[in-house]
Amino acid sequence: MSLKNKNIIIGITGGIAAYKTPYLIRLLKQSGAEVRTIMTSAATKFITPLTIETVSQNPIACEMFPDRYASTHHIDLAEWADLFVIAPATANCIGKIASGICDDLLSTVICATKAPVMLAPAMNTQMYLNPITQNNIEYLKSLDYIFVGPGSGELACETTGVGRMLEPDEIYSEIESFFRKKKVKKVDLANLPLKNKKVIVTAGPCREAIDPVRYISNRSSGKMGYALAEAANDAGAEVILISGPVNLETDANINLVRVESTEQMYLAVKKYFKNAHYLIMAAAPADFKAKKVAIQKIKKEKTNNSGQPLELSPTVDILSSLSKVKKPNQKLIGFALETENGVKNAKAKLKAKKLDLIILNSTEEATPFDNDSNRVIIINKQGRQEPLPRMDKKELAVELIKRIAKVK
C-alpha cells in the first residue's frame, strides 16, 4: 500500500544496527511517506547525521534546544507524527521509555507524543534476555507500544542469538501492516443490524489423530475467523468463537471455545446453534479421519519400509448437518478454498449445503494460509459474484461482516 501523506518519525539510538536505518528510510520515502528523524548523541557515533539527512530529505533533529528552533521543538515533533518508529531501539532506550526518563530529545518527544510508538530492538542476546529488559518490554507492550522483532542470527559481538534488529524490509512491512489495520474503524460497523444478535464464528484447523503423536489436518492460521469474530463483536453482536488449535488470542468480550477435532467442533457448534442468528464457518475442519487410531505411536521400523496403510473415513459435515435443522431466521455462511474450478465448486457447495452466502478464497496470487491479507469472491444464493481486492484480513473481515449483516 502507499504511505502517501503519512508522517513518520524515525528515532535512531546508539547501536551498530543503525547502519540499516537509511535503507528503511529509503523504503518509506519510496512509498510516499514524509519522514523526519531524531538521533541520539550515541547514534551519531555509528552513522553520520549527513547520511540520514540525505536519505530523509529533511534536517535531522539531535539537540534538545537547537538555535534555529523555539524551546517547544520537542512538542512540535511529537504532534506532527502519525507513527513513531525507533530503529534500532537499544536496551537503554527501552529502559528510559519504560521509566519515563526524558534526558534527551528522543526520549522527550516519545514522552510527549500521542502517536503510536513502534520499537525494533537491537542488542546483545544477554542484554535482551536480562529480566529487567524483558520486564520493560512487557510493561511497554501493556501500554500498547508495538514491538517488531528482534530476530536471531549473528551479532556484532561475534556471537549468535536473539537480539538482531529486523531487516529494513521486514520493519517496513510491519509499518505498512500498521497503517492497513488503522484503516479499520469500529464506526464502519456501528449502523449494522447486528446489535445483540448471536453470531457463531468458527476458525482455524481441526486435527484428527492417527496415533498419540500424529494427526491429519487442513492448513489454516485462524486469522480470518478471528478477524471476523472481532468485526462482529465491534458491530454489537454477541459472538461465540469456536476455534481449532491456533496461537491466537481475541477480545475479552468474545466467548472463546477451543476444540481439537472436527467432531468436537461439530458438537460445540450444535450446542450454540439453536439460539444463533448467524453461523460463519471460517474454520477448516478435516474432511477425513483415521478409521482406526493406533493406541501407541506407529514405529517406522515395523512397516518394513513399505509404508503404513492408513484407512480413512469421512468426518461429520458440519454445515450439511446444521442446514437440516436451520430455522428461517438463521443464516449459514460458508467458506471455500479450491485449487481448480473455484467458482463452479463454490456454487455447488453453496447449493448442496443450503448456504445463504459463500466466500471463495483466492489461491491464484498467494495462498491465504498464514498470510495477513487475502482476496476473496463473495457468492450469494442467486449466484451473483462480488470479487473483493486483496486486503488485510482485519479490513476484509469488516467488509464481509457488512455484507453478511445484509443477507436476507
Q: List, by residue number, the catalytic residues.
A: 157
Question: Strand locations in 128-245, DSSP E?
Answer: 146-147, 151-154, 160-164, 198-203, 207-211, 214-217, 238-243
Contact 328, 274 (CB under 8 A): no
Alpha-carbon Rg of the chain, whole angstroms? 26
In angstroms, what CA-CA distances link 251 with 122, 178, 255, 273? 31, 18, 9, 21
Neighbours of 78 (CB within 10 A): 19
CA proximity to 202, closest of 177, 180, 232: 232
CA distances from 34 to 57, 302, 392 (A): 9, 64, 23
Amino acid at residue number 202: T
Please tell me whether residue 45 adopts helix, strand or coil conformation: helix
| Widest distance between CA atoms in the chain | 82
Side-by-side strand order, sheet with 83-89: 60-61, 34-39, 7-12, 83-89, 117-121, 146-147
Instruction: Beginning with the edge strand found earlier in the chain, give each strand of the sheet holding 376-380 in spatial order.
Output: 255-258, 238-243, 198-203, 278-281, 331-337, 357-361, 376-380, 385-387
Q: How far apart are CA 28 and CA 52, in angstroms?
A: 13
Query: How many CA atoms within 13 Å lie on the side-chain side of 59?
Result: 7
Closest to 39 in 3D by CA, of 87, 84, 106: 106
| Cα gap 51→276, rounded to integer Å | 60
